[in-house]
Structure 1
Amino acid sequence: MITRQPQTTSFLFTSLLRPSTSISQSYVCTPCRRSLHRGLPEDGRVPRPTPFVPDVPTFFKLIGREMSKHANKIESWEELFTATSQKLKEKGVDPPRTRRYLLRWREKFRKGDYGIGGDLQYVQDGVAELRLVEIPSLKKDPVTGEPLSGTVSIGQSPGMQKLIVNVPNGSSTYALQPGQTTADLKKPSGFKLKNGYIITGKQAHPIKGTYGSGVTLKAVEGLWEHKRGHKVHGGERRRAQTLHKLRVEENKKNAR
C-alpha cells in the first residue's frame, strides 16, 4: 500500500534546498575540525631542521606512537612538511588517526611549538648537555636602557642568579657569543630547578660528578609522544549504560 507523505515534510525539504533570502550570500559554512587536513589549504612553509631534530627519522622517533616504522616512507625533510594527507595515505601511513597525529605534530613544529629539547642549540650525536650557570643580576645601562653584559660562571656561589643553559658537550664554561648579553640567556623549556641546584626534566640524566647541576638529554623514542587515552566503562557515551548493567548484575548476585 502506497501512502502519501505529509506536506510538511515536503515543505521542509524544499526549504532546505532553497535558502531564505534573508540569509546573507557571503555566509560560509565552518568545516568540521576532523576534516581540516583534507580540504583546507596548508601553510606550505618548510621550517628548518633544528640541532635536536636534524632529520626525518629523528622527528618520527621523538613523536612516538610507533611512527618510526613510517620514517622510511618519507624521502626528504621537504616532503615531510609538504605532503598532503592523501599523499601520506598513498605512501602507506595508516590508519587515519596515525596521519592526523603526524599532521598535528607537523603543524606544531612548523609554528615552533617543540617538545622538550627542541629549542636546544648545542647537540652532538643526539645528546645535549645542560648546566646550571650563575650570572650577576641583570642591570640596565642608565643611558641607553640596554641590559649590561656580565660574566657567566658554572658553580654555586651565593648572591648570583642561577639559570639553566644549554652548553657545548663536555664544556665546563660558557662563552657568550658576539653581540650576546646575559639578558639573552633563556632557560630551555621543559626544565626547572629543584632545591636550588638540581636540574629536573623529562629524560634528564645527571652528569657524573655534578650532583644534579648538570644533566644530559638524549633524543629517544617517544620523548614528545602524546599518550592516547583509554576508555573507562565504555567511554563517556556508554558509561551510564555500562554502570547500570554492572549494578543489575551485582543486585542479582546479592539476591541469590
Structure 2
Amino acid sequence: MMKAPRIRLSLLNSVVPRAPSIIGVTQTRWLHRTRAPKPLPSPIPIVPDVPTFLKVIGRGLSQYADKIPSWESLFSLSSTQMRELGIEPPRTRRYLLNWLERYRKGALGPGGDFKYVENGEAILQVATTETQDRKWVVNVPPGKTVSDIPGESLVRVKGYSVQGARTVTGPYALPLKGGAGARVPIVEGMWEERQGYKVDGGERRRAEVRYKKRVAQRKAEREEAGQR
C-alpha cells in the first residue's frame, strides 16, 4: 500500500498565505477599552446620605456605613470591593448591587417621592378640592399645612391614601394628634425585600431532603411497630 507523500511544513507555508494575526491586536484593544461609568444618581430627601440608604434597604447593611466614605463611593462599588469591605455573604452583596441599580432607575420604596423630610421623618396631610369631592395625600414641609402651600405645588404621594374623613393610611404612616395627618419616620428596613423561606431545602436540595424525610418516617414507623 502506497503512502501519501508528506508535504514539508516549510513548503506548505510558502504556498498557503498566512492569515494576519489579529488576536493580539484585538486583545490589546480590549485592554484599552473601558466601560463608561454608570451615571451617579443624586440623593433624595428620604435618603440623603449613605447611612440612610443602607438603613432603609435593610438586611443589616447599615453596619457597613462607616466603611463607605461617600455617596460617590457607594455607587461605584463592585462586588469584589464589597467583599474586601467585609460585606458577606455573597447574596448580601448581590442584594446591595441590585438596590443600587434600582435606585439609578428610580424604582424606589415607600417615600421615594417625598419632597420634604426633616429630622428623619416626613409629614403627610390630606388635600381636597373646593367641593371636597376628591381627597388625596400630599407631603408638606414641617410646620406647614396644606392651606400654606399653593394648590399647583401640592403633589400627591404614591402608596398613601385617605380613609374616612382625614385618616392617612400607607406604609409606616403614624397618625398625628388631632387628626392633622400622619408622619412617616425613616426606619430600618422600610425598603427591604423580605427573603423567602426555603421549603424542604429549596429547589436544589428538595428531592434529597424529601427522600431523607421519607426514610426517617419509615424508620420511625418500623420502630413504633416493633414496640407494639
Shorter-normalised TM-score: what interval?
A: 0.7 to 0.9
2:38 maps to which residue? 44
| Bigger mean CA offset, 115-124 vs 240-249 | 240-249
1:141 maps to which residue? none
1:234 maps to which residue? 201
**For 1:203 and 1:85, how far apart are their aligned partners in 2?**
32
Residue 57 of structure 2 corresponds to residue 59 of structure 1: no
Q: Which consecutive segments of 4 or more residues in structure 1 shift more than 6 A?
A: none
SS in 1 for 2:188: coil
1:207 maps to which residue? 176
Residue 137 of structure 2 corresponds to residue 164 of structure 1: yes
Amino acid at match of 1:120: F
The answer to which structure has the higher helix fraction is 2
Which blocks of at least 5 consecutive residues in structure 1 are unaligned? 1-40, 137-157
SS in 1 for 2:146: coil
SS in 2 for 1:209: helix
For residues 229 and 246 of structure 1, do their structure 2 counterparts lie closer, same or farther at Cα, with a shift above 3 Å needed?
farther
Alignment of 1:93-112 (within 5 A): 93-112=87-106
Q: CA deviation at 1:130?
A: 0.4
Q: CA offsets per residue over residues 22-46 of structure 1, 9 Å max, x none?
A: xxxxxxxxxxxxxxxxxxx586111
Q: CA offsets per residue over residues 115-136 of structure 1, 9 Å max, x none?
A: 1011100111111000111024
For residues 42 and 223 of structure 1, do their structure 2 counterparts lie closer, same or farther at Cα, with a shift above 3 Å needed?
farther
Contact 2:59–2:189 (CA<8 Å) still a contact in 1? Answer: yes
Residue 188 of structure 2 corresponds to residue 221 of structure 1: yes
Amino acid at match of 1:204: A
| Bigger mean CA offset, 122-131 vs 222-231 | 222-231
**For 1:104 and 1:234, how far apart are their aligned partners in 2?**
24
Q: CA deviation at 1:203?
A: 1.3
**For 1:165 and 1:214, how far apart are their aligned partners in 2?**
10
Contact 1:49–1:55 (CA<8 Å) still a contact in 2? Answer: yes
Q: CA deviation at 1:193?
A: 2.8
Q: Which has the larger radius of gyration?
A: 2
Amino acid at match of 2:124: L
The TM-score normalised by the length of structure 1 is 0.66
Q: CA deviation at 1:61?
A: 0.6
| Bigger mean CA offset, 70-79 vs 227-236 | 227-236
Residue 112 of structure 2 corresponds to residue 118 of structure 1: yes
SS in 2 for 1:165: strand
Amino acid at match of 2:135: K
**For 2:144 and 2:184, how far apart are their aligned partners in 1?**
15
Q: CA deviation at 1:248?
A: 2.2
**For 2:142 and 2:42, how far apart are their aligned partners in 1?**
22
SS in 2 for 1:221: coil
In the alignment, which of 211, 214, 218 is matched to residue 248 of structure 1?
A: 218
Contact 2:129–2:135 (CA<8 Å) still a contact in 1? Answer: yes
The TM-score normalised by the length of structure 2 is 0.73
Q: CA deviation at 1:82?
A: 1.4
2:28 maps to which residue? none
Which blocks of at least 5 consecutive residues in structure 2 are unaligned? 1-34
Contact 2:50–2:70 (CA<8 Å) still a contact in 1? Answer: yes
SS in 2 for 1:123: coil
Q: CA deviation at 1:94?
A: 2.1
SS in 2 for 1:163: strand
Amino acid at match of 2:225: A
Q: CA offsets per residue over residues 185-229 of structure 1, 9 Å max, x none?
A: 54322222334532111211000111xx61100111111111112
Contact 2:124–2:182 (CA<8 Å) still a contact in 1? Answer: yes
Q: CA offsets per residue over residues 160-202 of structure 1, 9 Å max, x none?
A: 310100011122234556xx73xx7543222223345321112
**For 1:209 and 1:243, how far apart are their aligned partners in 2?**
57
